[in-house]
Copies of this chain bind each other. A is one copy, B any other.
């Protein structure tokens, strides 16, 4: 692990990190913390943690007395033809990382603990979910909103931490929290990149050597767009065209989308003005990767 993962213990933390497998265990622990007047941060993850997740946990440990990291590969946010089965897992390594960062509890439920056989309640959002990733992954954000609602109700955190890399997810969760009056502060954290620019992602592990090189076209396209905006370009179509051309220059890349949208509504805009989001999704071979920048 890189040096940026050096241990940062939670304030007043005395005990070794707990691993909870049931909702009941989590509730009891959080209630005990609440009785002591401690604040609680939540970092929801699907596991196979990387430095992007580490940055969320470090921030959470800084800002809260106790931190819960959930490691749950949520089946309801995967489509039937998506990569649920293939998704990488390494729970032992995840726990080592969480412990080294001062996380107080890892919540690692089985799918059966989270979803009863006759589960049928969904939290959904039409407007913000219909563009970008929601176009090709039609029930994805319904699964995300639902599992995040469940985790919020189980952990009842003061703050919850999400990466800016999943920009649409972050916007959707902020909207859900506002619309449903959840009393939780949502903290967004910047994208963490490899040294060569590729955004950190658990899915990067799918890439072979050749694809790994080709995948650089994502961050290069993002940096190009950022540069154009910095230099004064405000025409979304021009920025989109340049970013698209950059991606198309790579034979292994196949574009899912290149879009510039309003940062709150996720609806396409013509002019690049704050808050705007430039977001891309690109297949490198069979691996779908995303990246973005915000203004």
Contacts and interface: CB of A to CB of B under 8 A. Distances in A.
Contacts of A123: 121-124, 180
Most buried by B among A123, A125, A178: A123
A153 interface: yes
Interface string A118-144: 111111111110000000000000000
Given A121-B124, A121-B125, A121-B145, A116 B183 contact: no
A265 B118 contact: yes
Contacts of A295: none
Contacts of A23: 181
A50 interface: no
B183 A153 contact: yes
B121 A181 contact: no
Interface string A96-113: 000000000000000000
Contacts of A182: 153
A209 interface: no
A179 interface: yes
Contacts of A183: 27, 153, 156
A237 to B, nearest CB: 25
Nearest to A154: B181
Interface in A165-214: 175-176, 178-183
A119 B125 CA distance: 9
Nearest to A150: B181
The 8 closest A-B pairs by CB, nearest first: A121-B179, A153-B181, A120-B127, A121-B176, A121-B125, A150-B181, A154-B181, A153-B182
Given A118-B127, A150-B181, 4 more contacts: A118-B265, A120-B175, A121-B123, A121-B145
16 contacts: A23-B181, A116-B178, A116-B179, A118-B127, A120-B126, A120-B127, A121-B124, A122-B125, A123-B123, A123-B180, A149-B180, A150-B180, A150-B181, A153-B180, A153-B183, A156-B183
